Amino acid sequence: MTALIKSEISFLAVEALEDCDIIEIDFLKFRKALFTTPDLMAFHIHYLETHWLLEKETKEIGYLQFEAKQRYLTFLKDYQTILSRLPQFHIASYLGITPTQLSRIKKSLNEASQHM
């Protein structure tokens, strides 16, 4: 969004992990439509509030507030429906840790569950 608003090249890339459909829109036409279509504006505001404020803020606070193990446990709870389809290195990247760190966390959790 920042790159679009500032008319700059984005430094972010998106990689699809599964087959998907891509929709390309003209940002200037979309922006013009936002200001002339109240329903579209309301939808866009709701989307930004949900995905750019609530989700992003929670994730960023998690990086600061929680250790990697807790972030992984939260990830397991939040994304259990897609977990089996994700490569471990993508999970580690999302959590801001290395794949080796993720392996150690998983090993410690397995050991802890075996002692129960």
Structure tokens at 73: 């446990």
pLDDT at 74: 92
How many Å apart are CA 86 and CA 109, to the nearest integer? 19
pLDDT band of 5, cuts 50, 70, 90: confident
The model's pLDDT over 14-62, given as tens digits with 9 standing for 90+, comes to: 888 889 999 988 988 998 999 999 999 999 999 988 887 777 777 777 7
Sequence-separated (6 or more) residues with CB below 8 Å from residue 102: 68, 72, 88, 91, 92, 95
pLDDT at 65: 76
Mean pLDDT of the chain: 88
Please tell me what DSSP assigns to residue 43: H
**Mean pLDDT calculated for residue range 64-77:** 90
